């Protein structure tokens, strides 16, 4: 049904040898990624997919040849699976953000939240999830513990746009477009109209700054600089 099963929802990378590999111990990412030879950062979008705003975000990313990482809620994946197929086709990465975004869960609930989401994403687009973002960024609960059991890499962020609170496109553009640095991981939510409105503008600013938006897997394990594909 699916011609390829990319590990992270990334397009196949060149098979040439790499100068860096992702350390096996890297199970939780909590800040910017250092040591990068390229001017790259990662835009991440949580809580979707949303039937309208996610499509708007995808349109803008495509126009700018930019890649992003989407941390999806299983309950939304089940409603809008077509958007996942589009994400994968267009080279974006996909991660789990639990099924229903609970702030707390028992052990059994956490097992179900992650397993249901894993299966829903696999069914929707053929990706076997390896990335996780804990709801509310809580790394002390049972969801995070289950993510560890599943050997997911847990990804937090280094720049929080606070888009859900301010609902202000200009503020998002300023924080994510102008206020970012190489290796940053930017937190946004593709379920808000203001965020979708901000993305084309912030991508234009990144273009002007000659900063490329790449996926989390790319940021963690970039190709050797002399082999970097033009994307
Ligand atoms: Ni969230």
| Catalytic (active site) residue 47 | no
How confident is the model at residue 229, as a pLDDT? 55
Supply 212's token pair.
Answer: 């490329």
- Encode pLDDT of 29-82 as tens digits: 999 999 999 999 999 999 999 999 999 999 999 999 999 999 999 999 999 999
90 phi and psi angles, rounded to 5 deg: -95, 10
Residue stretches of the chain with pLDDT short of 70: 1-25, 225-231
Catalytic residue among 46, 163, 184, 190: 46
How confident is the model at residue 223, as a pLDDT? 86
How confident is the model at residue 228, as a pLDDT? 53
Query: What spacing in Å lies between the alpha carbon of 45 and ligand 1's midpoint?
Result: 9
CA dihedral (6, 72, 51, 166) in degrees, to 10, reads: -130
How confident is the model at residue 9, as a pLDDT? 40
Query: What spacing in Å lies between the alpha carbon of 37 and ligand 1's midpoint?
Result: 31
Catalytic residue among 53, 189, 190, 192: 189
Chain position carrying tokens 């100068």: 19
Query: What spacing in Å lies between the alpha carbon of 103 and ligand 1's midpoint?
Result: 10
How confident is the model at residue 227, as a pLDDT? 55
pTM (2 d.p.): 0.87
Query: What spacing in Å lies between the alpha carbon of 230 and ligand 1's midpoint?
Result: 31
| Catalytic (active site) residue 189 | yes
How high does pLDDT run on average in the chain? 89
Query: What spacing in Å lies between the alpha carbon of 201 and ligand 1's midpoint?
Result: 23
- The SS3 of residue 214 is strand
Question: Is the CB of residue 118 less than 8 Å from the CB of residue 129?
Answer: yes
How confident is the model at residue 20, as a pLDDT? 40
How confident is the model at residue 224, as a pLDDT? 77
Supply 177's token pair.
Answer: 């477009």
How confident is the model at residue 205, as a pLDDT? 97
């Amino acid at each position: 049904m699916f011609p390829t099963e990319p590990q992270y929802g990334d397009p196949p990378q060149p098979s040439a040898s790499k100068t860096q590999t992702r350390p096996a111990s890297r199970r939780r990412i909590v800040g910017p990624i250092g040591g990068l030879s390229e001017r790259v950062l990662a835009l991440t979008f949580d809580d979707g997919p949303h039937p309208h705003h996610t499509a708007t975000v995808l349109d803008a990313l495509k126009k700018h040849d930019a890649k992003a990482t989407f941390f999806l809620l299983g309950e939304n994946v089940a409603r809008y699976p077509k958007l996942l197929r589009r994400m994968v086709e267009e080279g974006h990465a996909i991660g789990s953000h639990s099924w229903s975004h609970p702030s707390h869960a028992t052990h059994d609930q956490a097992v179900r939240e992650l397993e249901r989401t894993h299966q829903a994403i696999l069914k929707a687009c053929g990706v076997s999830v390896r990335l996780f973002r804990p709801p509310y960024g809580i790394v002390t609960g049972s969801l995070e513990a289950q993510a560890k059991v599943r050997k997911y890499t847990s990804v937090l962020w280094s720049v929080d746009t606070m888009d859900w609170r301010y609902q202000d496109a200009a503020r998002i553009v300023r924080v994510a477009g102008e206020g970012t640095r190489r290796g940053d991981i930017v937190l946004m939510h593709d379920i808000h109209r203001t965020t979708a409105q901000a993305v084309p503008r912030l991508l234009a600013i990144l273009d002007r700054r000659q900063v490329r938006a790449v996926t989390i897997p790319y940021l963690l394990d970039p190709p050797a600089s002399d082999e970097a594909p033009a994307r």
